[in-house]
């Protein structure tokens, strides 16, 4: 059976960073990702990142991905990469992980340490005919367009005015697709104003306190019905919108199956959008050889996911005896400084309060 | 005509069916999984679990954080029995 010092599960911004950090500190790393290429959501993010200088604010997401790939190239002797490879199970009894490459190849790895950077999945909402072809997750639409160069349709109704809904609406328009409206259940826009302003300037209405009531169409989507929402539920007249695509950008939830399988202490934290593992200041879970990073640790942004990945990779490397205490302390302090910078101010308030509920300084031994 | 809302797309289970079974006392995710197969298809509950937990919470009048999420077992995605039978690690 294959063995490895550090198994990193998920090669998005968090996992890539964890693998790079652990390898650069002298660990032998195996990095697996279920997709055909590494990079997670970075490879389709054509917008410029916010955040801070250290986290390459002002650079487009896919460019940040390229920088990480370049770093990976320099460490390729220490990082064994497996794409198109999904972790199927974690077996607590003996610490073995089972995986499949594609549909045919099944194998096992026994790692000494694991970093779970499994990311997030898109939420769905129930409404009549939500299973018609033409109802998409916004992330899926972004993948179709920006990775595969395929536009999903001609006219889109976007559900959700968070950052994903706003950014994907703008990118749809850049690709020549008409956006009929952005519908948002909450009384306020969830995403950054700059993204909202861009699509408003192009004449797309953002309808706050509105919801989708049903999708229309027989074999495929031909429209949608939306309606205003008041304190007592739906109010006003239902409005028919003509569209061939309904795009759901109603939030993400952490991908946590493997953390559950591994028996990590889990906690429901609404601010982090679902169940997340309790973790210490080293991003270590209650299972002493398992670390967590990125959206799997709570829905946040790629910038902080990358720093969390660094922390997890550093922690895993130190636990294997590869990092001197003084180097570790310096690394820890610097990464935490970068994280607090990213989470500062009003925008970070929700994240800070969520993290307070699931963090501890150190696990009791 | 009553409009159907599909909650579990993999196994084509509707919101109405889920509500009926919750009313009959099958008010946990694992019980619903056993009677309706929700969460047993290709996506393994990634699409429906959150919606079903909210329905259970609503029916019982408790916050969703108090509804048990159900058991997570390998495999996390469907695998052909043949490749398991072969034993892997070729």
Average pLDDT, chain A: 95
**A244, two tokens:** 């061939």
Same domain? For A147 and A80 the reply is no
Residues A4, A28: contact at Cβ < 8 Å? Answer: yes
Interchain proximity A127–B5, CB inside 8 Å = yes
Residues of chain B contacting residue A105, judged by C-beta atoms under 8 Å apart: 83, 88, 90
Interchain proximity A214–B64, CB inside 8 Å = no
Q: What is the pLDDT of residue A115?
A: 98
Q: Where are the domains of chain B?
A: 6-85
Q: What is the pLDDT of residue A58?
A: 83
Residues of chain A contacting residue B75, judged by C-beta atoms under 8 Å apart: 88-89, 98, 100
Q: Does A93 touch chain B (CB under 8 A)?
A: no
Residue A10 backbone dihedrals phi, psi, to 5 degrees: 110, 120
Q: Could you give the CA distance from residue A9 to residue A317 in angstroms, rounded to a whole number?
A: 16
Q: What is the ipTM of this complex?
A: 0.94
Nearest-neighbour CA in chain B from A185: distance (Å): 17
Q: Would you give the end-to-end CA distance of chain B in angstroms?
A: 55
DSSP A273-334: TEEEE-B-TTSB-SSTTEEE-GGGGSS--HHHHHHHHHHHHHHHHHHTT-S-HHHHHHHHHH
Domain harbouring A234, CATH code: 3.50.50.60
Enumerate the H helices of A76-192 as residue ranges: 138-146, 163-174
- Per DSSP, A48 falls in state B
Same domain? For A100 and A159 the reply is no
Q: Could you give the CA distance from residue B78 to residue B64 in angstroms, rounded to a whole number?
A: 28
Structural domain including A184 reads 124-248
Residues 132-161 of A with CB under 8 A from B: none
**A225, two tokens:** 């019905």
Same domain? For A117 and A256 the reply is yes
Q: How many domains does chain A have?
A: 2
In sequence order, what are the beta bridge partners of A105? A101
Last residue of a domain, one of A223, A248, A273: A248
Q: Does B1 touch chain A (CB under 8 A)?
A: no
Same domain? For A278 and A242 the reply is no
Interchain proximity B88–A274, CB inside 8 Å = no
- The residue among A125, A131, A216 with the most chain B CBs within 10 A of its CB, best to mutate, is A131
Residues of chain A contacting residue B89, judged by C-beta atoms under 8 Å apart: 1-2, 106-108
Residues B67, A91: contact at Cβ < 8 Å? Answer: no
Same domain? For A158 and A209 the reply is yes
Q: Could you give the CA distance from residue A43 to residue A16 in angstroms, rounded to a whole number?
A: 13
Question: Among the listed ranges A48-62, A150-164, B59-73, which one has the minimum average pLDDT value?
Answer: A48-62
A363 belongs to a structural domain: no
- Pairing assessment for the beta strands A85-91 and A245-248 based on DSSP bridges: unpaired
Last residue of a domain, one of A201, A222, A248: A248
Identity of the residue in B7, B74, B89 whose CB atom sits nearest the CB atom of A88: B74
> In this structure, how many other beta carbons lie within 10 angstroms of the beta carbon of residue A248?
25
Q: Model confidence over A106-148: pLDDT tens digits? A: 999 999 999 999 999 999 999 999 999 999 999 999 999 999 9
Same domain? For A80 and A155 the reply is no
Residues B36, B13: contact at Cβ < 8 Å? Answer: yes
Identity of the residue in A91, A128, A253 whose CB atom sits nearest the CB atom of B5: A128
Q: Residue B11 above 80 pLDDT?
A: yes
**A249, two tokens:** 């950008």
Q: Does B2 touch chain A (CB under 8 A)?
A: no
Residues of chain B contacting residue A258, judged by C-beta atoms under 8 Å apart: 76
A-B Cβ pairs (cutoff 8 Å, strict): 80
Q: Residue B1 above 90 pLDDT?
A: no
Nearest in space to A227 (alpha carbons), one of A239, A218, A215, A243: A239
Q: Which class is B6-85 in CATH?
A: mainly alpha
Residues of chain B contacting residue A91, judged by C-beta atoms under 8 Å apart: 74
Interchain proximity A88–B75, CB inside 8 Å = yes
Interchain proximity A127–B79, CB inside 8 Å = no
Distance of CA A67 to CAs A33, A55, A70, A303, A305, Å? 18, 12, 5, 14, 15
Q: Does B30 touch chain A (CB under 8 A)?
A: no
Q: Could you give the CA distance from residue A116 to residue A11 in angstroms, rounded to a whole number?
A: 10
Q: Model confidence over A272-306: pLDDT tens digits? A: 999 999 999 999 999 999 999 999 999 999 999 99
Task: List CB contacts of A346: < 8 A, sequence separation 6 or more.
Answer: none
Nearest in space to A179 (alpha carbons), one of A189, A169, A191: A169
**A232, two tokens:** 């007592």
| Average pLDDT of span A185-191 | 95
Interchain proximity B83–A260, CB inside 8 Å = no
Nearest in space to A274 (alpha carbons), one of A289, A259, A290, A291: A259
A270: nearest CA in chain B? B65
| Average pLDDT of span A67-86 | 97
Q: Could you give the CA distance from residue A163 to residue A210 in angstroms, rounded to a whole number?
A: 17
**A103, two tokens:** 């549909």
Nearest-neighbour CA in chain A from B5: distance (Å): 4
Q: Does B62 touch chain A (CB under 8 A)?
A: no
Last residue of a domain, one of A207, A224, A248: A248
Q: Residue B90 above 70 pLDDT?
A: no
A134 belongs to a structural domain: yes
Same domain? For A132 and A243 the reply is yes
Residues 28-87 of A with CB under 8 A from B: 86-87
Same domain? For A340 and A198 the reply is no
Enumerate the H helices of chain B as residue ranges: 15-23, 29-36, 49-60, 81-85
Residues A9, A115: contact at Cβ < 8 Å? Answer: yes
A85: nearest CA in chain B? B77
| Average pLDDT of span B55-84 | 93
């Amino acid at each position: 059976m294959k063995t490895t010092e550090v198994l990193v599960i998920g090669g998005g911004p968090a996992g890539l960073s964890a693998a790079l950090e652990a390898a650069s500190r002298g660990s032998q790393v195996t990095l697996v990702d279920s997709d055909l290429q590494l990079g997670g959501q970075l490879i389709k993010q054509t917008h410029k990142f916010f955040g801070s200088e250290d986290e390459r604010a002002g650079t487009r997401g896919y460019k940040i991905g390229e920088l990480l790939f370049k770093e990976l190239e320099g460490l390729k002797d220490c990082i064994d990469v497996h794409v198109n490879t999904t972790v199927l199970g974690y077996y607590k009894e003996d610490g073995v992980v089972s995986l499949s490459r594609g549909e045919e190849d099944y194998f096992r790895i026994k790692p000494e340490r694991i970093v779970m950077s499994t990311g997030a999945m898109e939420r769905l909402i129930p409404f009549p005919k939500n299973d018609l072809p033409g109802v998409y997750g916004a992330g899926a639409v972004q993948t179709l367009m920006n990775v595969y160069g395929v536009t999903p349709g001609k006219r889109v109704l976007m559900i959700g005015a968070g950052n994903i809904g706003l950014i994907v609406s703008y990118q749809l328009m850049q690709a020549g697709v008409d956006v009929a409206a952005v519908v948002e259940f909450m009384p306020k826009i969830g995403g950054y104003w700059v993204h909202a302003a861009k699509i408003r300037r192009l004449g797309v209405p953002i309808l706050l306190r509105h919801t989708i009531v049903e999708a229309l169409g027989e074999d495929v989507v031909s429209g949608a019905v939306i309606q205003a929402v008041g304190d007592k539920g739906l109010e006003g007249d239902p409005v028919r919108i003509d569209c061939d695509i309904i795009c759901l950008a109603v939030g993400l939830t952490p991908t946590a199956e493997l953390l559950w399988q591994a028996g990590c202490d889990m906690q429901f934290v609404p601010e982090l959008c679902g169940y997340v593992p309790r973790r210490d200041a080293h991003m270590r879970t209650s299972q002493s050889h398992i670390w967590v990073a990125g959206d799997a640790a709570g829905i946040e942004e790629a910038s902080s996911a990358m720093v969390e990945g660094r922390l997890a990779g550093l922690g895993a490397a130190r636990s294997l005896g590869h990092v001197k205490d003084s180097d570790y302390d310096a690394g820890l302090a610097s990464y935490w400084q970068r994280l607090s910078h990213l989470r500062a101010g009003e925008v970070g308030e929700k994240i800070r309060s969520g993290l307070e509920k699931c963090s501890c300084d150190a696990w009791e031994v | 005509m009553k409009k159907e809302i599909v909650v579990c797309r993999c196994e084509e289970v509707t919101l109405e069916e889920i509500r009926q079974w919750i009313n009959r006392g099958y008010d946990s995710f694992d019980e619903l999984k056993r009677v309706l197969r929700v969460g047993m298809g290709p996506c393994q509950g990634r699409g429906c679990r959150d919606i079903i937990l909210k329905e259970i919470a609503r029916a019982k009048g408790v916050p969703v954080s108090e509804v048990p999420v159900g058991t997570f077992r390998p495999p996390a995605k469907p695998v052909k029995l043949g490749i398991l039978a072969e034993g892997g690690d070729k």
